[in-house]
Amino acid sequence: MKKHLTALAIVSSLSAAPAMAQDLDIKITNLTNAIYFTPFLVAAHDKHSRLFMEGSAASSNLQAMAEGGNIAGLSTDIQAMGGNVVENPAAGLLAPGGSTRFILMSNKDNRHLSLTAMMLPTNDGFVGVDSIKIPKKRGVYTYYLKAYDAGTEANDELLTGGGAPGMAGIPADPGGYAGMGGSGVTGADHNSMIHIHRGTQGDNDPAGGISDLDSGVHQWDNPVAKLVITVMGKHKKHDDDDD
């Protein structure tokens, strides 16, 4: 039986458990001014599994996450390859300046960590990390995460309520700073592969202009998030740990 556990819960592996497992205390902090993160997917997995890869085309499940915050497909993919996952550790959106903290289990087969979440308000921007090799030694390890563009939708910066793949526009601005009536910033992306997000342009006209985003509020520079992994002790894994 698949188990999807959230904050402060140890995630059970879908594959046969090895003799030893390692607990990771993970904290993610939103470093932006007015960008919200949709529910995170965090996974410990083997070296052959990926949620995304910079410079490659987005999968349909990555597109669903980047355009609408839907992590279900990516979660199914990574679990089918034997990965351990935590879904939605913040129990909803992670607001600017906010943090979420939880426990994830790794083992000798799942020695890499990846995570992803959509950034709102953007067309297809997401925060992510691709296959960090999990340290073996106890200690605290800090990483600063970049914003990526999935390359699947033009960054028109128009708040339309769109969010499903193929539906143009930004789903929502949770902070409530966006306007309406923009004409649209740009056409199709020059780079259709996953790439570093160039940020938002915005304008200062809430009832028109080229963008529905506020140039004084919604812009950001990388990094957009802070990831702290605390590697704790190893423990024996028993057959009844998944019950």
Global pTM exceeds 0.85: yes
The answer to whether position 243 is within a domain reads no
Is 224 in a helix, a strand, or coil?
coil
Name the residue range of residue 153's domain: 1-12+20-235
CB 218 within 8 A of CB 177: yes
Residues (pLDDT < 70) of the chain are: 1-20, 233-243
In a domain, 211, yes or no: yes
241 within domain boundaries: no
> For residue range 211-235, what is the model confidence (pLDDT) as tens digits?
999 999 999 999 999 999 999 866 5
Assign residue 51 the CATH number of its domain: 2.60.40.2130
* Whole-number pLDDT of residue 111: 95
**90 belongs to a structural domain:** yes
Q: Per the structure, how many domains does the chain have?
A: 1
- What pLDDT is recorded for position 235? 58
How high is the pLDDT of residue 20? 62
If you search the block for the tokens 């607001």, which residue do you land on? 95
Position 75 in a domain: yes
Angstrom distance (rounded) from CA 136 to CA 132: 12
148, part of any domain: yes
**What is the reported pLDDT for 189?**
77
What's the pLDDT score for residue 15? 37
The predicted pLDDT at position 117 comes to 98
Residue 25 lies in a domain: yes
Q: Is 19 exposed, middle or buried (0-12, 13-18, 19+ CB in 10 A)?
A: exposed
